[in-house]
Amino acid sequence: MTDLPAQETSPTFLGMPSFQHAAEAALADTQQRRNLAHATATIRAKRAAAVGEVDGWEDLRLAGAAAKDEALHHLPHYLEQLEAALTARGATVHWARDADEANQVVVDLARAKATDEVVKVKSMATQEIELNEALEAAGIAAWETDLAELIVQLGEDRPSHILVPAIHRNRAEIREIFARRMGAVGRAAPDDLTDEPARLAEAARLHLREKFLRARVAVTGANFAVAETGTLVVVESEGNGRMCLTLPETLITVVGIEKVLPTFADLSTMLQLLPRSSTGERMNPYTSMWTGVTPGDGPQEVHVVLLDNGRSRVLADEAGREALRCIRCSACLNVCPVYERTGGHAYGSVYPGPIGAVLNPLLRGTSSEVDRSLPYASSLCGACFEACPVRIDIPSLLVRLRTQVVDEASGRSAEAASMKAAAWVFGDHRRLEAAQRAATLGGRLLGDRTIRSLPGLGAWTQARDVPTPPTETFRQWWARTHGDDEGDLDDARGQPVVEEQDLGGAGPHTRQEGS
């Protein structure tokens, strides 16, 4: 792999513990466990129904993957095309190598407008670069306007999901946050606020409306940026996106360079894949598309910041680059049994869940404890790959990243030593047979007693019994019953069976069937 610069871990996530360690605390958070189980089960069912309606879903997935691959494989070409199309339509294009550069562009633009606040549409790219913190340091307030982001911002919390950042909060917690915090930053919540979702949404509507009506600068991300036409696309539900994209005079859009789509026609694929995968709807309530400046309609000053921040490094990784197809739908989170139980914070990044477990080590490298642990934060069950609308083979990427972690450690661990020893045993069947004789000896000594603890197997036996080894291995049984018929395949092929074997005999003693 070429040594292109990795993304620097943002200040919030520096020194994060390993996933395993963070997960222990998350698993003990019973409120979050319940909230997540309810929310992910709900959205899984919705997604399954919405996807099930579409004939040829697999063809759509292939078309989606092909569109993103076309863009990624020719990214310099399409970015230059995008820049030319945007410029021709009156937009200003900025390029940012990393988070600091992107933040500086936005801060400078806001300062030039002499404003002390911006309204924001939920955006993963601006979370990734911690733009809000950079604006705050420059004395500019950044108001998050997505309901969930508002909950997170008011609660001085961190998002735990790509699509539903406050998925870890329930209605009672949200009511408490609104009642306690809204008044400090604008219109207070009504005194009689209840925890009904409709009342909570109404409180957010009233609180944010005054901000929308007075805002002069908006900052957004984009779901797609069409190279052919210069069209930017924001997919949303609440209308906060439309407010930000329409009312302020100045619009600044921060876009990861992997968001490029080659052609406008590719939107026909993506607008079928994204909503059904994401919120499980046939279509999200609002999708806005704008191409530069439209005289007399919407912002008359339009800026686009194209952000690298480690993406070129991922692109240089021939196997890893498919992770850049990600359209941030979060389908993989919602189907992931690990995410469902640990929540998003344990992933140590704004990108949680299965895609985060591959994207973070790809973007940031595997030098930190959390990034080394993330590839192992999966049982490799494959539900993520099955759900991914652009067919990112997340399990294979996880395995490849595990190899990277092991290779970088250069064999200096107890695990590496035991793996090496095991590989030596498996390297020859005679060695395996010798090792098996030790195991069956253990089985004969134990009889049919249950193993409830075993030295070195604490991680297993803390909640599970251990199967007792049998007194006879399969190959010992085969030798005893089938003798010399070891299966010289070339001789055996196509020959008739000449003898019937006696297949009697009881199985060995384990707690599994057969005892």
Between residue 452 and residue 511, which ones bind other proteins under the rule CB under 8 A? 452, 459-460, 462-467, 469-470, 472-479, 482, 485-490, 492-497, 500-501, 503-504, 507-508, 510-511
Classify 428 as helix, strand or coil: coil
Distance between CA 235 and CA 274 in Å, rounded?
A: 9
Helix axes 474-482, 429-446, angle to 10 degrees: 100
From the number of C-beta atoms within 10 Å of its C-beta (0-12, 13-18, 19+), residue 276 rates as buried
Residues that contact other proteins, how many (by CB under 8 A): 192
Nearer to other proteins, 104 or 139 (CB): 104
Tell the smallest beta-carbon distance from residue 243 to other proteins (Å): 5
Sites for other proteins among residues 309-328 (CB under 8 A): 312-313, 315-316, 318, 321
| In the block, residue with structure tokens 């919390």 | 157
The SS3 assignment for 288 reads strand
| Region of 8-16, 133-141, 355-363, 411-419 interacting with other proteins (CB under 8 A) | 411-419
CA angle 41–42–43, rounded 5-degree value: 95
139 vs 424, beta carbon nearer other proteins? 424
Which helix (H) or strand (E) covers residue 144, if one does? strand 141-144
State the helix-helix crossing angle for 30-52 and 266-278, rounded to 10 degrees: 140
Closest CA relative to residue 339, chosen from 130, 32, 122: 32
Contacting other proteins within 170-209 (CB under 8 A):
170-171, 174, 197-198, 200-202, 204-205, 208-209
**Residue closer to other proteins, measured from CB, 145 or 360:** 145
Find the binding residues for other proteins in span 87-116 (CB under 8 A). 89, 94-97, 101
Instruction: Assess contact for 475 and 433: CB atoms under 8 A.
Output: yes
Q: Which is nearer to other proteins, 12 or 512 (CB)?
A: 512
Closest residue by Cα to residue 231 from 263, 258, 207, 204:
263
Q: Shortest distance, CB of residue 325 to other proteins, whole angstroms? A: 14
* CA distances (Å), origin 418, targets 314, 422, 424, 469: 32, 6, 10, 20
- The tokens for 69 are 């691959």
Q: Which amino acid is present at 432?
A: L
Among 415, 417, 445, 449, binds other proteins (CB under 8 A): 415
Structural tokens at position 453: 């603890």
| Residue 428 engages other proteins in binding (rule: CB under 8 A) | yes
Q: How far is the CB of 266 from other proteins (least distance, A)?
A: 6
Chosen residue from 281, 300, 369, 446 binding other proteins by CB under 8 A: 281
Q: How far is the CB of 497 from other proteins (least distance, A)?
A: 5
- Structural tokens at position 263: 């052609």
Main-chain phi, psi angles of 400, to 5 degrees: -65, -40
The residue from 29, 77, 155, 185 that contacts other proteins (CB under 8 A) is: 77
Report if residue 265 touches other proteins, rule: CB under 8 A: yes
Q: Which of residues 200-259 bind other proteins (CB under 8 A)?
A: 200-202, 204-205, 208-209, 212-213, 226, 228-229, 231, 237-240, 242-243, 245-247, 257
The single residue among 272, 277, 360, 368 that binds other proteins, judged by CB under 8 A, is 272
Residue placing its CB nearer to other proteins in the complex, 308 or 371: 308
The SS3 of residue 75 is helix
User: In a 3-state reduction of DSSP, which class is residue 143?
Assistant: strand
298 binds other proteins (CB under 8 A): yes
CA distance 349 to 340: 17
What track of x and - describes contact with other proteins for positions 364 through 403 (by CB under 8 A)?
-----------xxxxxxxxx-xx---------x--x--xx
